[in-house]
């Protein structure tokens, strides 16, 4: 473990089961998101007051749109409703956290600008800061990047990955209960960096072995790491989307981290 690089932020999705008048906004999932700026690919005039978005936040679709991925959530408790809710029933907040996991800055994202990849197996989703008070959300995001609180990773599109390559996973690990329970504290999203080695390459995903370098304890990918950035030589080569269960029938992949390629992120 070395000094953590702020390549990412925490993201939390809450939902409300609107058919119950007394229900509250329940915590659905805490995860990680990556800020990416594509200033040349906005809708409308790039730097006008109202046109387009400057900041794109990349994360996992199963965090933002859980109804498409009901298998990720417990079938008991409030999460049993996830297959029936829509974007109108959710709200998402991005957070900049300290090294101790305390939220330093919070900002809601817009429900009107959520884009999910057409291939559900890639589990990619892009959200944008909510534009209250004209460009306040975008300006704060850019200010945080200029101050170095968040670093925008550059995508590696030239040199392909190879089995055995050493990479870093940067994300947020959730301490405390990840899913909402009555009177349970919110999880601390603690910045985490894990060394890993490329284990297997497939057409849609690559898989990372974290335990051979860090050991079984430090190398374990914790809850909340979904959406973490995978870095090699200072460039983003992919995003962690899930972990393969240790009791999986694919024994050679059991316990590894499944990641989407940077090329798929760029095409998205």
pLDDT digits (tens, 9 = 90+) for 166-186: 888 888 888 766 555 556 667
Mean pLDDT of the 89-99 span: 83
Whole-model pTM: value is 0.79
Residue 152 lies in a domain: no
d(CA 27, CA 53): 27
User: Chain centroid to CA 202: how far?
Assistant: 21
Q: Tell me, what's the pLDDT at 164?
A: 82
Model confidence at 133: pLDDT above 70: no
Domain that holds residue 35: 9-147
Token readout for 176 is 């405390």
Q: Tell me, what's the pLDDT at 39?
A: 47
Model confidence at 229: pLDDT above 80: yes
Domain boundary among 147, 177, 202: 147
User: How many Cβ atoms sit within 10 Å of the Cβ of residue 101?
Assistant: 19
Q: Contact, 31 vs 8, CB < 8 A? A: no
Residue 155 lies in a domain: no
Q: What is the mean pLDDT of the chain?
A: 75
Which CATH number is 205's domain given?
2.40.10
């Amino acid at each position: 473990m070395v000094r953590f690089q702020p390549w990412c932020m925490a993201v939390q999705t809450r939902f409300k089961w609107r058919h119950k008048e007394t229900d509250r906004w329940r915590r659905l999932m805490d995860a990680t998101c990556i800020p990416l700026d594509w200033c040349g690919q906005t809708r409308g005039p790039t730097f006008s007051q109202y046109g387009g978005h400057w900041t794109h936040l990349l994360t996992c679709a199963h965090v933002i749109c859980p109804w498409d991925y009901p298998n990720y959530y417990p079938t008991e408790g409030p999460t049993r409703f996830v297959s029936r809710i829509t974007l109108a029933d959710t709200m998402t907040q991005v957070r900049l956290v300290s090294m101790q996991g305390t939220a330093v800055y919070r900002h809601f994202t817009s429900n009107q600008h959520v884009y999910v990849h057409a291939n559900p197996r890639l589990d990619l989703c892009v959200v944008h800061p909510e534009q209250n008070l004209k460009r306040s959300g975008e300006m704060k995001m850019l200010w945080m990047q200029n101050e170095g609180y968040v670093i925008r990773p550059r995508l590696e599109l030239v040199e392909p990955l190879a089995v055995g390559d050493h990479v870093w996973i940067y994300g947020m690990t959730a301490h405390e209960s990840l899913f909402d329970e009555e009177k349970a504290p919110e999880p601390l999203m603690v910045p985490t960096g894990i060394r890993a080695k490329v284990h297997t390459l497939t057409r849609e995903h690559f898989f990372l072995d974290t335990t051979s370098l860090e050991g079984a304890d430090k190398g374990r990918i914790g809850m909340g790491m979904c959406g973490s950035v995978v870095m090699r030589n200072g460039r983003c080569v992919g995003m962690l989307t899930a972990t393969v269960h240790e009791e999986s029938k694919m024994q050679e992949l059991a316990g590894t981290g499944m990641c989407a390629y940077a090329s798929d992120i760029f095409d998205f």
